[in-house]
Structure 1
Amino acid sequence: MSQLPAEIFKAYDIRGIVDKSLTADVVRRIGHALGSLAAEQGQSAIAVGRDGRLSGPELAGALMDGICAAGIDAIDVGCVPTPVTYFAAYELGCNSCVSVTGSHNPPDYNGLKMVIAGTTLALDAIQNLKRRAESGDLKHGQGKRRSADVGTAYIDKIVGDVKLARPMKIVMDCGNGVAGAIAPELFKRLGCEIVPLFCEVDGNFPNHHPDPSKPENLEDVIRALRETDAEIGIAFDGDGDRLGVVTKDGEIIYPDRQLMLFAADVLSRVPGGQIIYDVKCTRLLAPLIKQHGGVPLMWNTGHALVKAKLKETGAPLAGEMSGHTFFKERWYGFDDGLYTGARLLEILARAADANPLLKNLPNSPSTPELNIKMAEGEPFALIDKLKAEGKFEGAEEMITIDGLRVEYADGFGLARPSNTTPVVVLRFEADNDAALGRIQAAFRQAITAAWPGIQLPF
């Protein structure tokens, strides 16, 4: 069997440029390997959903052909948000699913997020899939292809679970991503009046990129909040598994601060519960979790890795700085931007005005994610040198579970190698601007000593 392009097999999913590294033939071969893995694990069917990208129908069709070639049935759940595909694995009882999605990548990308027998494939499991497809270690059979509509069941399930104490008027920006196929109806049924922005599913993404983690993509929400009497704004990424939140006066409430609100709420019903968050999150989160009787657990970045830890610990809630939030309490434990938005409004609707609740969440000066672009393999080498040789005077703790997070009495600095692109991700936070500058200077000195001539973004 011929080799598959190595660069599409990422840490948490498969992703590539359509008709270049990611062709219908490549996806069919991956489908055959996935079906073979599912068969080995006693599965009989895999649910397949796709986002709104123009390449979705062809690639989803090729994937299902491959799955069926392994003797496993393929259940086509259509053009739906990724969390609806995850939901289908539970609702249809098949425990396995694949979402054909490019998430927040440019329009010419697509990819696969994969769950087999209840486990999200990541790291070695994804590399093993590649080896299996290339070596021809495959099962053969004639699986059947059928369709199922789970969108209504998904909306019914959330509406049965989440109750708003009062009606709310909200701005909703779907960024022409697939969330637009379901989110407006869901939130109307929850009792919201919606000011819709770009809720028509369009794989060309003609208005702005569907990535609410970037402030420039929330400018339309901020404008609509200014021009209407809507109370708050929410935005979804391209496949609907991440949420952005904006206050009436245009302040972006980043996901680690959203998690504070969710943690306090969940811990009121799950006393002593463990709350998982990734290394990029604010240092103000752990004290708040403890204050509400919970146990904070810092963990690796990456939706698949957080999901695995959630499953292992039985924690009721987890979240990432990138906007993936995972509710196990009352939900299934997968990342779901639509459900997260519903839970947010449930909390906010208890107050006469949502905005003070959001504005009063603990906050301190911080940077957004900063990236150092390097050659393939270099980010890991740089972080290894920093761990071995970096001098950080006055540091209280060096956390090395995922890159290097240096904790000071008045702030932290983080440098970690991305698992998806050849960059080092940096983030800084401190009690005040002077401390922030001091911590950045310490990192600047350590990084340039470890890698002379490097170009830094701060």
Structure 2
Amino acid sequence: MTQRPYALPAAEIFKAYDIRGIVDTVLTPEAVRAIGHAIGSEAVARGQKAVAVGRDGRLSGPALAGALADGIRAAGVDVIDIGCVPTPLTYFAAWQLGCDSCVSVTGSHNPPDYNGLKMVLGGQTLYGDMIQALRRRIADGDLAHGEGRLTQADVTAAYLDRVAGDVKLARPMKIVVDCGNGVAGGIAPALFQRLGCEVVELFCEVDGRFPNHHPDPSKPENLQDVIRALRDTDAELGLAFDGDGDRLGVVTKDGEIIYPDRQLMLFAEDVLSRVPGGEIIFDVKCTRNLAGWVRARGGKPTMWNTGHALVKAKLKETGAPLAGEMSGHMFFKERWYGFDDGLYAGARLLEILSARADANAALKALPNAVSTPELNLKMAEGEPFELVKRLKEAARFDGAEETITIDGVRVEYADGFGLARPSNTTPVVVLRFEADDAAALARIQAAFRDAIDGVWPGLKLPF
């Protein structure tokens, strides 16, 4: 074993799908340089010569991206700095620049004092043990050494050209675009104008303090500005993006939020019209209406684990043309590259809706159900996994048609479903319920309340 050249970064920042933590507390430039050296060493082991590095609009981005680049180069791997861009453009850069590897310095939709790293090496998104292995490299001093070069590249023009060359609107549209002061604001208005849209811009100035609202379109409170703008203007549709631009939120003219599992219905119908019999992947949090919708259009529905890295791995394994998650990550392999891209998903949505006379009616016609948003049961570190393990082993759900345990416990009834799964990113149990009517929803929630109380009494449940 060689001598360890770095202080060992805190274990807590090495998450299931990325590296993430509070800046200058656990995520310091020193920690990121060490992680960069480990990433560069892993790149060497995989035969990779260069890594593209992009960053979102957080105030800590320049210092952390610089530290990351220094670390990668210390392993003898070249770094191509692509500047302040949405995470999907960092993924795109790996294709466009031919290096197949990239790291995005991003805190995604987390508060301003967070930042992190999303990593791809040789076309593979790092997750799970691959991320833990980076920390082990640092601990063991198992690091390559060399002097990589630093160069700059701008892929924005190539990205705009690529999307505009692929997506064609049947008619001009007027839309509201809310970037929540996230990094997507630097490109989204130009992209949609290029496609032929008139854009009402909300918070498209990139500001890492997020002064207007939190950049997380999965939460209804963050879409209220879009709803107001749609009411006060003649725009026909609202799009919202998260802090790093890899997730999409959609709002109808009359203010209804179209959640990602319903967006996926529209995308699946469109993709299956060109890929007959194609497989459509979706995560365990999605509506039970989705599988039947896909089957009715000749597709093969596949339910899978939550987590953008896990879905990307499944997409690669199956060759499916499309996948999506309830969180808002959409993965197009048909006509695109298979990575999650909120901007491209928004463009594809506009292409579909521009062919309809009434975008509002087309969205509202998608099957719907009485449902809850994601509900979070906060617990201590490690406890969510133990609770779900106990549910799998001991809980009985009378009247259930099926219990699915690929990711947590999803209990299917004739008239609805309930889900409890441990989050891989924070110490919470994620709960979600859906049913044909309010009475069925209440009944399913009561069944879960009893089941949870039976295996872990005394918890304060969020439903």
Judge same fold: TM > 0.5, yes or no: yes
Q: Give, in whole Å, the separation in 2 of the partners of 1:134 and 1:362.
A: 51
1:342 aligned residue: 347
Equivalent position to 1:169, from 153, 174, 178:
174
1:134 aligned residue: 139
1:277 aligned residue: 282
State the Cα distance separating 1:4 from its structure 2 match: 1.6
Q: How many residues align?
A: 458
1:310 aligned residue: 315
One-letter amino acid matched to 1:150 = V
Q: Give, in whole Å, the separation in 1 of the partners of 2:174 and 2:308.
A: 31
Equivalent position to 1:3, from 4, 8, 16:
8
2:335 aligned residue: 330
1:115 aligned residue: 120
- State yes or no: 1:290 paired with 2:260: no
One-letter amino acid matched to 2:309 = A
One-letter amino acid matched to 2:16 = A
One-letter amino acid matched to 2:156 = G
State the Cα distance separating 1:437 from its structure 2 match: 0.5
Equivalent position to 2:420, from 406, 415, 419:
415
1:194 aligned residue: 199
- Residue by residue, what CA displacement relative to the aligned partner does 1:414-435 show, whole Å, maximum 9, x if unpaired? 0000000000000000111111
Q: Which moved more, 1:133-142 or 1:95-104?
A: 133-142
Equivalent position to 1:268, from 265, 273, 295:
273
1:205 aligned residue: 210
Q: Give, in whole Å, the separation in 2 of the partners of 1:134 and 1:174.
A: 39
- 1:176/1:210 contact within 8 Å kept: yes
One-letter amino acid matched to 1:353 = D
- State yes or no: 1:453 paired with 2:432: no
- State yes or no: 1:232 paired with 2:237: yes
- State yes or no: 1:81 paired with 2:74: no
Q: Give, in whole Å, the separation in 2 of the partners of 1:454 and 1:208.
A: 31
Question: 2:258 is paired with a residue of what secondary structure?
Answer: coil
Q: Give, in whole Å, the separation in 1 of the partners of 2:110 and 2:87.
A: 14
Q: CA RMSD in A?
A: 0.4
Q: Give, in whole Å, the separation in 2 of the partners of 1:6 and 1:385.
A: 26
Q: Give, in whole Å, the separation in 2 of the partners of 1:275 and 1:338.
A: 20
Aligned pairs for 1:34-73 (under 5 A) are 34-73=39-78
- Residue by residue, what CA displacement relative to the aligned partner does 1:214-255 show, whole Å, maximum 9, x if unpaired? 000000000000000000100000000000000000000000
One-letter amino acid matched to 2:155 = V
Q: Give, in whole Å, the separation in 2 of the partners of 1:162 and 1:449.
A: 52
1:99 aligned residue: 104
One-letter amino acid matched to 1:306 = V
State the Cα distance separating 1:135 from its structure 2 match: 1.2
Q: Give, in whole Å, the separation in 2 of the partners of 1:439 and 1:202.
A: 43
- 1:4/1:134 contact within 8 Å kept: no
- Residue by residue, what CA displacement relative to the aligned partner does 1:248-277 show, whole Å, maximum 9, x if unpaired? 000000000000000000000000000000
One-letter amino acid matched to 2:406 = I
In the superposition, the TM-score normalised over structure 1's length comes to 1.00
Q: Give, in whole Å, the separation in 2 of the partners of 1:269 and 1:141.
A: 48
- State yes or no: 1:219 paired with 2:228: no
State the Cα distance separating 1:3 from its structure 2 match: 2.4
- State yes or no: 1:25 paired with 2:30: yes
Question: 1:338 is paired with a residue of what secondary structure?
Answer: helix
Equivalent position to 1:178, from 179, 183, 206:
183
Aligned pairs for 1:349-364 (under 5 A) are 349-364=354-369
Q: Give, in whole Å, the separation in 1 of the partners of 2:138 and 2:192.
A: 42
Equivalent position to 1:435, from 429, 432, 440:
440
State the Cα distance separating 1:391 from its structure 2 match: 1.3
Aligned pairs for 1:238-257 (under 5 A) are 238-257=243-262
State the Cα distance separating 1:173 from its structure 2 match: 0.2
Equivalent position to 1:396, from 393, 396, 401:
401
- Residue by residue, what CA displacement relative to the aligned partner does 1:48-107 show, whole Å, maximum 9, x if unpaired? 000000000000000000000000000000000000000000000000000000000000
Question: 1:129 is paired with a residue of what secondary structure?
Answer: helix
State the Cα distance separating 1:353 from its structure 2 match: 1.6
- Residue by residue, what CA displacement relative to the aligned partner does 1:390-420 show, whole Å, maximum 9, x if unpaired? 0100011010000000001110000000000
Q: Give, in whole Å, the separation in 1 of the partners of 2:302 and 2:53.
A: 33
Question: 2:410 is paired with a residue of what secondary structure?
Answer: strand
Long gaps (5+) in structure 2: none
- State yes or no: 1:387 paired with 2:392: yes
1:370 aligned residue: 375
- Residue by residue, what CA displacement relative to the aligned partner does 1:94-131 show, whole Å, maximum 9, x if unpaired? 00000000000000000000000000000000000111
Q: Give, in whole Å, the separation in 1 of the partners of 2:137 and 2:45.
A: 13
- 2:260/2:324 contact within 8 Å kept: yes
Aligned pairs for 1:147-166 (under 5 A) are 147-166=152-171
1:425 aligned residue: 430
State the Cα distance separating 1:133 from its structure 2 match: 1.5
In the superposition, the TM-score normalised over structure 2's length comes to 0.99
One-letter amino acid matched to 2:404 = I
- 2:8/2:31 contact within 8 Å kept: no
One-letter amino acid matched to 2:237 = I
- 1:68/1:74 contact within 8 Å kept: yes
State the Cα distance separating 1:137 from its structure 2 match: 0.1
One-letter amino acid matched to 2:25 = K
State the Cα distance separating 1:199 from its structure 2 match: 0.3
1:146 aligned residue: 151
One-letter amino acid matched to 2:169 = L
Question: 1:170 is paired with a residue of what secondary structure?
Answer: strand
